[in-house]
Amino acid sequence: MEQQLSLHLKKFNERIKVMNQTNAKELVLNRLDAQNLHSEIFELLNKISSLVETKKEEQTVKMNLDGGTF
């Protein structure tokens, strides 16, 4: 899955790994890294929202009932 991540998400993931390995208490992001990460997170949320909406549309079944010969 990691190979599918964008550059900024990979960078963030690596920093979290290092933080966990060194038992660091906090992670500080500079402004540019934070903005890039924010942008990519919102792009992912937008894609997820779009996929969910598409899936809902695919699951909708339309039926027309005319009553036959009653």
Q: What is the pTM of this model?
A: 0.66
Cα 51 to Cα 33: distance, rounded to the nearest angstrom: 27
Q: Is 48 within a domain?
A: yes
Q: Which of 60, 8, 5, 2 is nearest to 37 (CA)?
A: 8
Its domain, for residue 8, covers 2-58
Residue type, 63: M
Q: Is 63 within a domain?
A: no
Q: Is 50 within a domain?
A: yes
Do residues 11 and 22 touch, judged by C-beta distance below 8 A? Answer: no
**Model pLDDT for residues 3-62, shown as the tens digit of each residue:** 688 899 999 999 999 999 999 999 999 999 999 999 999 999 999 999 988 877 777 667
Q: Is 69 within a domain?
A: no
Structural domain count, the chain: 1
